[in-house]
Structure 1
């Protein structure tokens, strides 16, 4: 069987058992570790899984034509990704990846109308779904763990405080939040630093929730949320921040994005970009993830971003790499999702639950075994806009904590 030959090439460490659709059993690996056993229920998978595993493994799991007899989905994907990280890529996967790389410009073509449709595909799902697995502030991006054991709420608070510190906020400043989500960061910045914030989103659901949150917090006079693409924004801002949105911009629009940041940023302003990235160079979006979760999405290597920033006249004044922070974040989300699976199944169905399980597990392992990371890039138009050393970040965070203690 073609898929068995494929697995024999990949699984060198650990133990994987395969029962194919004809009932034959195959064993791969060196016999060590906790065994994982998968079962195929459709003979068509024998070839499909070998020719395009990055797409069809996820689809088969969603459809129930690939099931687990031993171990969990996490165990199976960890075994596969850990082995792939230590062997030459199989020719069929290498050829598929080269094709994906060649086509990525077309697949990431994101004019305004297409960007709106891509955002709606993921972010206009049931609000209850996001309530069930995100933190109470609905932060849907990488948290910042001071310690691996931090709670999700603590780590997401750390992230907002860390970003605010890097922005060097002063009361009365005007801040632009590109891709504001449900408004949590914008509200935090306004409450903590006394700034005025304009948040942009393309999600109708996020826009509605964010506006209501600002009203309930009594901040509608200082925080406004607009259903607007970043390319349509005008004006001038003292600070610009974008968290978890750049992954949806698309490589064709990188020049447009950074030129727009440069245009909107005040002469002495500071911008902060928080994005998923790749530590192993340019690549292509996993075809299953692109089809089912984030159409038009792509996580860039810094080598794809920095040359464009340089051409726009912006100075990169600080870069911080968050390595396992998103793996910890995704683990919290996955555990909360599983704890609420029965309720989520009632909102959607079991196939949806399997799809999101595959998404959360796969993304977590991308940060553990596949070279993904998060970068925070600070940019200015003036080299003197930020202090000479990074001490100000810790100092700002300490002052913010002190103010919070007094308020409590």
Structure 2
């Protein structure tokens, strides 16, 4: 999900606990009580499976959103972002209500606006406060200032980083004692019910629960987790992220349409969620959806993608990391052809990387723009990145931002 303003800074912006503390003091006139960080993420495999009770495998990025915060006793929530125009957004806790953003508000948020209401970027942290209070947690007012290096609109889950940083800050400020997974669920509730984006639980769980040097295998049905060692450098490999710089808005209906189609397929097949359709019985399931080709395609992607997650885990457990490359590429083809959420820039990045020698590549995130991931041998990483950049220039696209993804830590207090 995109972060809509509060996490809008480019990765080059000054960033760190000392910088955030200084900015907080400049805005609010006193030092913050503490500073908390939550990361963006890339999803190695398992796309759009989370809201189908399926399997996902994200890893946290070193790019983070920082929340500098102090409590208040007057029932007022004040929010300020280093990446958004408009100054402080001031809200009263007793007036917070779910007001999902309309198209105009989303457009304003993408430009860094949002005004003095729980809309635009401010809806995300305000929604977290609302969700915590709705759950009966004794959350009071707060002053919060945000800085971020998580690129927005890149499919790297900047909104979840913003939400989870807020949740961790409030959890500590008010001594709530909530576990990371519970905070992730409250952050998801904020995005679903307050902001109005029907996201699954993956992004928030990745931001809250990942550990450094590992990919996170998450079963989104029962929320069981397993940290899987993912030390590519030790094997002479690199995972590149290619941010196409094509912005996408998942709240504009396309994301919701695919979710609704998956739910329609599950009802037609008599299951609670598509997670329950066995890969071995996929052909039989598709035959039962004859006459609904769009739903068939959605079902095919979800069932095969869950199977690809299991195959990737088997490869990593067996020490055959290079063997996951073709599985990544197969996942891209499925997202492109069955889910139809790729775009020409993503396809160009993937196709060019493969031609230049990548072991595998695919789009990552919700789709309609954003980023691709590319698994490469360390020895050809620079050449593959250069080939993608040259291909974008030849096609008349803006230059992509390419960086290495190193599995980082989940949310934590930094000061």
TM-score range, shorter chain: under 0.3
TM-score using structure 2 length: 0.23
Structure whose residues are more often helix by fraction: 1
| Structure number, greater radius of gyration | 1
Greater relative contact order (Cα 8 A, min sep 6): structure 1 or 2?
A: 2
TM-score using structure 1 length: 0.23
